[in-house]
């Protein structure tokens, strides 16, 4: 098993690894050191609670990162990017929710913090490369730089890298790209690292163990409004449009309606103009054949129209599609097979085989089987 997909710098190159305190970044640092790189760690603090409570476990994560770096015999730098995170990730997060869309802060965090602020900080420290524990691979050939899926299908994280410019990604090493997660844990245990069995982090850091609804209430006021079916018949009252996402089934509290089948209800649409939530029991209404996306980021040169595959959410199987330039200047993506619950504010990533070509932010769709958007 190869520990590093490419070794562009050779032995002795200085690389700074983003250390989260988790097992993936820990093993990434160990593998790079084994390869002969001059390895240092960097712990990034990206969030500070104004109530003084560390919901996102930053203090525990820092303690774990320090223990790992001590065990590996490498220095650990500390950087506070909380202000940059607030301005470039969190403000966008709030803007999207206020507009009744569903954002993906993890994609923005990679673009704005991990592969922008981190790269700049590492360069000021004299590093030639950065490295992370992402399950992704990269290569460079006569055609340029390529980002490839990690070999562990269950852990491939290229979807979250889609918005990062190629110039930034090309400065990063991905030591875990050829590894399976189980082997990474086994390697950490063999190295005697205390965090070899630590659970993977899930959810959004700044929310932590809090209920999502309680967190949003600190920044966005609830505005209850009508919950209706497709014919406009009122079924109940929603808590506020920002609490719901397209395709959502849980939390609608619509069971036992007189004259209605005992079948699940799903969020079909949100209508901010009159603060109305539209729901349906017909799950086929959640299907759509197309989307429009803006903020395109291509990792290599492509020619449109382009036949490729796409993901509209993490861990989705690749879906065949055609990408073309829409009349409004956005990307128009047509799928060969209708997709469920395409969600405005999320991201679509494009692939050709194992190579990720780039992506864009979903801005428009139509939850129907309409085949010919203009």
In 3D space, the residue among 316, 355, 311 whose CA is nearest the CA of residue 333 turns out to be 311
Enumerate helices (H) and strands (E) in the chain, giving the number of each.
9, 17
Residue corresponding to tokens 């995170």: 85
Name the active-site residue from 56, 172, 205, 321.
205
Extract long-range pairs of 218-225: CB within 8 Å, 24+ residues apart: 219/94, 220/94, 220/97, 220/98, 223/275, 225/274, 225/275, 225/276, 225/277
Q: Enter the tokens of residue 246.
A: 């397209």
What three-state secondary structure class fits 91?
helix
Write down the residue that tokens 């449009």 correspond to: 241
DSSP state of 197: T
Q: What is the Cα–Cα distance from 267 to 349, expressed in whole angstroms?
A: 24
Among this protein's residues, is 205 annotated catalytic? yes
Please pick, among 109, 172, 308, 321, the residue that the annotation labels catalytic. Answer: 109
Which residues are tagged catalytic?
109, 205
């Amino acid at each position: 098993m190869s520990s590093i997909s490419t070794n562009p710098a050779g032995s002795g190159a200085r690389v700074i690894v983003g250390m989260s305190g988790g097992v993936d970044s820990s093993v990434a640092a160990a593998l790079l050191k084994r390869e002969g790189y001059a390895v240092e760690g960097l712990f990034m603090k990206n969030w500070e609670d104004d109530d003084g409570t560390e919901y996102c476990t930053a203090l525990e994560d820092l303690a774990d990162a320090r223990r790992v770096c001590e065990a590996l015999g490498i220095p650990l730098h500390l950087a506070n990017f909380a202000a940059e995170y607030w301005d470039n990730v969190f403000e966008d997060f709030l803007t999207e929710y206020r507009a009744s869309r569903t954002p993906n802060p993890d994609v923005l965090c990679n673009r704005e913090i991990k592969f922008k602020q981190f790269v700049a900080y590492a360069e000021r420290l004299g590093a030639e490369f950065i490295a992370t524990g992402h399950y992704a691979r990269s290569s460079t050939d006569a055609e340029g730089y390529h980002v490839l899926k990690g070999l562990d299908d269950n852990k491939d994280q290229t979807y979250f890298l889609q918005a990062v410019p190629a110039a930034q990604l090309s400065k990063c090493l991905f030591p875990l790209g050829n590894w399976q997660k189980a082997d990474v844990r086994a390697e950490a245990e063999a190295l005697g690292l205390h965090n070899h069995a630590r659970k993977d982090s899930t959810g959004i850091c700044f929310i932590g163990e809090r209920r999502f609804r309680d967190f949003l209430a600190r920044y966005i006021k609830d505005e209850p409004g009508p919950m209706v079916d497709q014919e406009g018949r009122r079924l109940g009252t929603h808590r506020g449009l920002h609490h719901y996402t397209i395709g959502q089934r849980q939390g609608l509290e619509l069971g036992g309606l007189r004259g209605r089948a005992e079948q699940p209800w799903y969020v079909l649409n949100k209508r901010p103009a009159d603060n109305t939530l539209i729901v349906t029991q017909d799950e086929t209404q959640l299907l759509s054949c197309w989307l429009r996306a803006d903020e395109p980021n291509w990792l290599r040169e492509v020619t449109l129209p382009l036949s490729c595959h796409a993901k509209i959410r993490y861990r989705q199987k690749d879906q065949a599609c055609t990408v073309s330039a829409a009349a409004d200047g956005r990307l128009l993506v047509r799928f060969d097979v209708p997709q469920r619950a395409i969600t405005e504010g999320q991201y679509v990533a494009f692939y050709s085989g194992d190579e990720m070509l780039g992506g864009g932010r979903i801005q428009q769709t139509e939850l129907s089987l309409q085949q010919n958007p203009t």
